[in-house]
A and B are shown apart, each in its own frame.
Chain A
């Protein structure tokens, strides 16, 4: 069996678990079952779910926030201030939501089965101009941020402005925005660190959720041995991904901040708690209301996230 896998961009920390999965599956089946990874050749990233639904390819990655209406259930994982602090936690809470029947039904409309997340650390903000030393300084600051993170930042007076990740650097250089919210690997790969003067070390407003899905029919059509090879490799892929992000990406991140002379700004715990209080509750409440109206057990999904995180 040969599966086509639709990713985008280039090979990076964000895709290491899929690369590892491909390697393991092929080894375990003596090359009988291979994953043929394509970076951008098979689909546009915002249409990966459509491609899965059509059956054009068998496995794909996408981010929930690209198109909230396609996958409302998993956007719960992109709410601000959920309190995730490690990649392991991010993985576990994602899997808890992925395994919920409502989520499975939501993605089932696309003939998709959620396989695993691509956990990212908390977003933080890098920017130019006067650094926002206190949360009050965020008043009027233009920031490139999307989804729940953007909404949270609105609560402290920041002005979210929409540009794509590809145009983020350009927008920063040309003054369209003064700051960019990204995970560290994206700050590096989109060149934000080349231009930024400061970085918010501990704002931690939230992150994005980018699952790996497979076409359900294709999954069911696998032989027992093949399915076993795939499912039994997820644990090792997870470990590889997390090690890679921590040992390769984050190991480069801190020295890079020093090397580029980027000022690291920390906020005191008291003010952060204030921010969380201001933003987390209202944004989550709004999410629950909107998605209950869609017919999702929104409160239940939100509670599941909270309880999973407090249990771990």
Chain B
């Protein structure tokens, strides 16, 4: 059997393990380890005397991955961005934002759900991790929506989908990961995420209003707030604006001269300010410890998936599956735009089975160069290019598209991390309930992605000013 065939068999085996209910991180790692043994043993012609050698080499190769892949500065952003989310929750930001949004937009059909989306979008400007964002809003928004007669599956779907905004609206851990994999400017990428993030929020809002009009039981409007109540709700939401202001000033320094630090550091500064605010608002050791433990729990879960998937990716490297894929893509005789759309569709399918970070780590080393080549190379000018944009701009555009696809995969079954988290926080909801509730947002996301593909200016306008 050729390495490529071994690669395909083992990949199918991994999917079977996942569907049978083995915890994802370990299913991927086990598949990768078994695959490595297979590859090394095959190299020795399946000689029984060489099995022990193959097992040793495979185990030692896999045993390197957890430490060597995790010890990276880039990944240190993830726990920081998770911590900021939990601290902001304990500082009362989420509650205040949700209250204000509820009072201002509650009156439209599906108003509570629209308020949830807007409050989440606001919170996304300090939170860098989709999963953590969904987790904190699941606690606040779902019970209130249910109390107001919302369909509970729909309520859960709104929170799961809205959480994905955190990865487009800066700061965003996943945009940073993309920037690092493809070696592009992190600051411009983060900037580029802003308008598509707001755009996605508007599309979500429109879908909700449409659904609420069509099916009244989904979300009755919430009336009766006076203008006085509305304005009184605003000051509570001000601290978050202050934190956003600090982060923006820090990273983009509008006063001229150099920026004061990297986005990584901007995130840490933001987290520190939120921490001070939380302490000021009365956070004590117990709440702080809870925030730390929650951060630890979510971080270790994400990191386990990262190293588990990377053991599997290491095996794929030995099987040379990415190389085979790359050759195949570049040999296709199709229009480049069609190929791009096919790539995005492939991400949608892959995203059903993988988590977002794992998917990017797995595919970008292969797919990104192919896309850049389609556009005419890394340093092509806008005039000479296929998609009408320069090389660096194409990197940004494709990055936002891919991250949007990765966010999409956070809500698609069977492995949609946001949905798992929402179901985990609200145990009266099964994972299947949340997947059902989130279905309408597939349409919203498909629409958003189509518009981003058709009108790249939505993505590129802001970074082109920088």
Contact = CB atoms under 8 A, between A and B. Distances in A.
Interface of A: 2, 4, 10, 36, 38, 40-44, 46-47, 50-51, 54-56, 128, 164, 166-167, 169-171, 173-176, 190-191
29 contacts: A2-B43, A10-B369, A36-B320, A38-B317, A38-B320, A40-B365, A41-B317, A41-B318, A42-B318, A43-B314, A44-B64, A44-B68, A44-B69, A47-B64, A47-B68, A54-B61, A56-B57, A56-B60, A164-B73, A166-B183, A167-B74, A167-B262, A170-B262, A174-B260, A175-B257, A175-B258, A175-B259, A175-B261, A191-B183
Interface of B: 43, 53, 57, 60-61, 64, 68-69, 73-74, 180, 183, 185-187, 251, 257-263, 314, 316-318, 320, 322-323, 365, 369
Contacts of B43: 2
A50 B263 CA distance: 33
Contacts of B260: 174-175
B343 to A, nearest CB: 20
Contacts of B186: 170
A175 B365 CA distance: 29
Contact of B57 (A44, A55, A173): A55
A180 to B, nearest CB: 14
Nearest to B181: A166
A36 B69 CA distance: 23
Contacts of A54: 57, 60-61, 64
B119 to A, nearest CB: 31
Given A38-B320, A56-B60, A164-B73, A176 B68 contact: no
Q: B-side binding surface: helix, strand, loop or mixed?
A: helix
A176 B57 contact: no
A14 B69 CA distance: 24
A129 to B, nearest CB: 8
Give the most central of B43, B69, B73: most A CB within 10 Å: B73
B262 A174 contact: yes
B259 A169 contact: no
A216 to B, nearest CB: 15
Lowest 10 A-B CB distances belong to which pairs?
A41-B317, A175-B258, A174-B259, A54-B60, A56-B61, A174-B262, A47-B68, A44-B68, A55-B57, A42-B317
Contacts of B64: 43-44, 47, 50-51, 54
B91 to A, nearest CB: 27
A190 B183 contact: yes
A36 to B, nearest CB: 8
A69 B238 CA distance: 52
A135 B316 CA distance: 50
Given A54-B61, A56-B57, A128-B258, 8 more contacts: A38-B317, A38-B323, A40-B365, A42-B317, A47-B68, A54-B60, A173-B185, A173-B259
A169 B43 CA distance: 41
A96 to B, nearest CB: 32
A258 B323 CA distance: 38
Contacts of A51: 61, 64
Nearest to A163: B73
Contacts of A2: 43
B262 A171 contact: yes
A237 to B, nearest CB: 23
Nearest to B61: A56
A46 B68 CA distance: 8
Nearest to B365: A40
A42 B61 CA distance: 9
Nearest to A128: B258
Given A4-B318, A50-B64, A175-B258, A166 B180 contact: yes
A56 B74 CA distance: 26
B361 to A, nearest CB: 11
Contacts of A174: 187, 251, 258-263
